[in-house]
Amino acid sequence: MKFQVSCELDYTLQDPATFLFALKCIETPGQQILNERMEVDPFVDVEDFTIGTGMNRFSRLKTLNPGTLRVSYQAEVLTSNRVVPASSLNVDSPGDLTPEAISYLFPSRYCQSDRVRQQAQDLFGHLTNTYAIASGVSDWIFEHVAYVSGSSGETSSAIDTMEQRQGVCRDFAHLAIALCRSMNVPARYATCYAYQLNPPDFHACFEVFINGWWYIFDPTRLAPLNGLVRIATGRDAADAAVCTIFGNPELTSSIVNCHSLDPNFIPITRDSLVARQEAIALL
């Protein structure tokens, strides 16, 4: 599948500031960047680098003078996915996990899995299959947590979302990750450009590790699962935030788009997966 993604962020600057952006798509075995361009107006030197596993791509820029700043990015990207029968997915015990998945069993900044263990056992303890647990978690959040724009902030965690029963995609993903990890299911956070997301914005989902693959879930159900273009992946939003700012600039405008360039694109949704008893992994 071929997508065109873009974003344009406008800031008002009063004092010097440093920005760490994760706007650029990453390349994986199943995601290829055909072309891309990042622009900064007025011109500021941009330092590109990776952190940790080397998967996520960051851009650092420093501003010194008051005024305005516009950062824009666009790319054409090829993506692919793996769809398999859900019945083919076996149970992965912690003793059988590959090393790359083990760190995603532990609590993290926004996903305090150790603090929701009892709630997870009460809700999902009757499920023994890894995929069934992840599916049950995602469906429960969709049914019991309200999607309310502006209802949370940058310090909101899975505990807050569990108590308040409202949030945005970031909060939905954090709660899902915490509940999955508390059931011994490795889970990670993914930031994406999302096709047909309304209103258009950056989007957050979660993935669980089963039989060597990361299977994607979106508790908000606001975008097709095969319409996601990966930007960054991590333990939670602390690893994969679109922008981290050191300073006090004001974001005045954010425009994000993701268009399909494939005339034969057929959306895969949670409902269609359930109907066919399948699971999907982004490659």
Domain boundaries defined on the chain: 82-193+200-235+268-282
Backbone φ and ψ of 131, nearest 5°: -65, -40
Going by pLDDT thresholds of 50, 70 and 90, the confidence category of residue 150 is confident
Average confidence (pLDDT) over 110-127: 96
CB-neighbour burial class of residue 10 (10 A; exposed 0-12, middle 13-18, buried 19+): middle
Q: What is the mean pLDDT of residues 103-130?
A: 95
DSSP secondary structure string for all residues of 252-283? EEEEEEEEE--TT-----HHHHHHHTEEEEE-
User: What's the fold here for domain 82-193+200-235+268-282?
Assistant: C8orf32 fold (3.10.620)
Question: Looking at the predicted structure, is the pLDDT value of residue 244 above 70?
Answer: yes
> Does the pLDDT at position 116 exceed 60?
yes
Geometric angle at alpha carbon 79, from 147 and 208, rounded to 5°: 50
pTM: 0.95
Q: Residues of 241-251 as b/e, b for ≥16 C-beta within 10 angstroms?
A: bbbeeeeebee
Q: What is the pLDDT of residue 254?
A: 96
Residues 22-50 have a mean pLDDT of 95
With DSSP H G I counted as helix, E B as strand and the rest as coil, what are the percentages for the chain, rounded to 5?
25, 40, 35
Q: How far is CA 200 from the centre of its chain?
A: 15
**What percent of the chain is modeled with pLDDT above 70?**
99
pLDDT for 153: 85
Q: Spell out the residues 6+ positions from residue 240 whose beta carbon is closer than 8 angstroms to its own.
A: 22, 56, 189, 190, 191, 231, 232, 233, 234
Q: Which pLDDT score is estimated for 52?
A: 61
State the pLDDT confidence band at 194, using cuts at 50, 70 and 90.
very high
